[in-house]
Structure 1
Amino acid sequence: MVKYPKIRRPIYDKKLCLHFNLLIDTYSRSAYTRRTAPPICGNSVIALKVYETLVIACPGGWRGHISNAKLCARGYHVCNKNDRASLLSKITFSRGIQIPGCYAFNAAHDFGRCIDCKNREHQDDLGGVGMTCPRKTTSQNISCLTGGTIDAAMGVSSFATNRACHYHPGISGVLCCEN
């Protein structure tokens, strides 16, 4: 039988820190994952807090338009254009692209505006944050975020395929804003 030494302090790894109180925290420069009780995300005990904001990234999928996503728990809602001034604008482009995955929110940034995400031309660029989101640019510095745009949309003209603002396998979840 192998005997393991008793360790009384947390074991640290480059990306993962295991605490003996069974909380798991994953750290990156831009966000951290933390088990929450009660859950902030409707279907998960894991929540990804975006910096020092009241914005939480919740993992999961949904069918159809992002307005159908039910991933945020009570007290939170899927972030939308109305959250731009108070919450979304606090997320900078440079930090938004460091978040692991691709988390969508219910707004589009087209022509320097933060608008409702709809299945129409110039309203179909589903906003998001994350390093795996399909489109990122700093050429449009006025958007729902600060300093650039990050799109979770599948393509430039997703409205043409009637898939604007819809879930697709490249999306990790949604951004939830505190009510």
Structure 2
Amino acid sequence: MKAILALFCALQLMTLVAPSAAAYYSKYNRNYLKKLLLQLDLKLKLHSKKHHINHSSTDRLKICKESSSVIKVYHSSVIGCPGSWTGHIRNADLCGRGYHLCNKNDRRSLLSKITYKDAIKIPGCYAFNAAHDFYKCIDCENRTAHDDLAGVGRACPIKVERRTSCITGGMIDAAKTFESYSHKRACQYHSGISGVLCCKN
């Protein structure tokens, strides 16, 4: 009986106190919400400023000079950058800061890490400054026996498995034929090439 009476008194007290408590809470809540909104507005402004700075920095450090599209060939160490060039592939200026046009000197450190099986899965055809004449990894030059422009990608014209080249396990040429020099197209761009291969410095 005492327990029931105590419960009844508590309920009565709540009905008396609740309206004033609700009013106090509402006032407190409004003040708190106002402060919260001011803090949030300040944080949003700071975030916007920070984001703008980062965005500008990213633009200055683009991996590919002429495109925001990047094809990862071997992690972030070897990438494909879309674009074209005029004349010898050494004239291709498509790699951004921190990267250079891959060449025969990158074979041991980077190019050999690319396997033939992985290379033929890459969409497009990305050339680099080397030649695969007679299954070697040599300089690409405008002369016979040095004119088979190297590349990676499923769209490259020439693909031969289990042959020595700059990559491992096979040979891929960006050149249209084995006689590029005789056609005066040695180490040059053609419409079947998607871009160039860039190696990290």
Which runs of 4 or more aligned residues in structure 1 lie more than 6 Å from their structure 2 counterparts after TM superposition?
A: none
Amino acid at match of 1:176: C
- Compare the two structures and name the one with the higher helix fraction: 2
Letter matched to residue 161 of structure 1: H
* Matching of residue 123 in structure 1 with residue 123 in structure 2: no
Match of 1:65 among 79, 84, 88: 88
After superposition, what is the alpha-carbon deviation per residue over 1:89-139, rounded to whole angstroms, capped at 9, x for unaligned? 000011100000000000011223210001112111100000100000015
Q: List per-residue Cα deviations over 1:16-43 (Å, max 9, x = no partner).
A: xxxxxxxxxxxxxxxxxxx987310011
The alignment covers a number of residue pairs equal to 144
Residue aligning to 1:32? none
Cα distance in 2 for residues equivalent to 1:53 and 1:134:
25
TM-score w.r.t. structure 1 length? 0.76
SS for the counterpart of 2:132 is strand
- Separation (CA, whole Å) in 2 of partners of 1:36 and 1:97: 31
The one-letter amino acid paired with 1:91 is I
Question: What secondary structure sits across from 2:181 in the alignment?
Answer: helix
Provide the rounded CA distance (Å) in 2 between the counterparts of 1:52 and 1:105: 17
- TM-score w.r.t. the length of structure 2 is 0.68
| Runs of 5+ unmatched residues, structure 1 | 1-34
Which structure: larger Rg? 2
Asked whether the equivalents of residues 53 and 90 of structure 1 are also in contact (C-alpha less than 8 Å), the reply is no
The counterpart of 1:153, out of the listed 175, 183, 187, is 175
2:132 maps to 1:84 = no
Secondary structure of 1:136's aligned partner: strand
Q: How many angstroms apart in 1 are the aligned matches of 2:79 and 2:138?
A: 21
